[in-house]
Structure 1
Amino acid sequence: MTRQFTEYHPASHYWPLQLVETGILPALAVFAAVRAPRGVGPDRERPRPAPGAARRDGHVQ
């Protein structure tokens, strides 16, 4: 046999809870949008060659 427990918030808590949620979700979206480009890209995929190393075409920098 299972029992269910339901918790109700008073009506006076509705708008404060909505405002907190409205603040948290956009903040997470902004954080994700700012953070996402830093983890990908050609600089992150392969290391840079050492200075003076020959390129594939044989040219030395």
Structure 2
Amino acid sequence: SDVSYDEVKNVGEYAVWNNKDKNISVFYKGLQFQLYVDVGDEATNKSKAITLAQKIINEKL
């Protein structure tokens, strides 16, 4: 069960996309959160998850 991650630039202090579980993990100011988005194909889900993560961070956590 190889799990691969792709770094996601410009989201929080550090973020990665989990290619196995299809979610984004975000690290920001001591917080860590994961988002799962299921609205379409994988590319759409990844794009929406990244956008949502940026919106959450921009709420000035």
Could you say which TM-score interval applies, normalised by the shorter chain?
Answer: 0.3 to 0.5
Compare the two structures and name the one with the higher strand fraction: 2
Compare the two structures and name the one with the higher helix fraction: 1
Q: Based on CA coordinates, which of the two structures has the bigger radius of gyration?
A: 1
Higher relative contact order (CA 8 A, sep 6+): 2
TM-score (norm: length of structure 2): 0.32
TM-score (norm: length of structure 1): 0.32
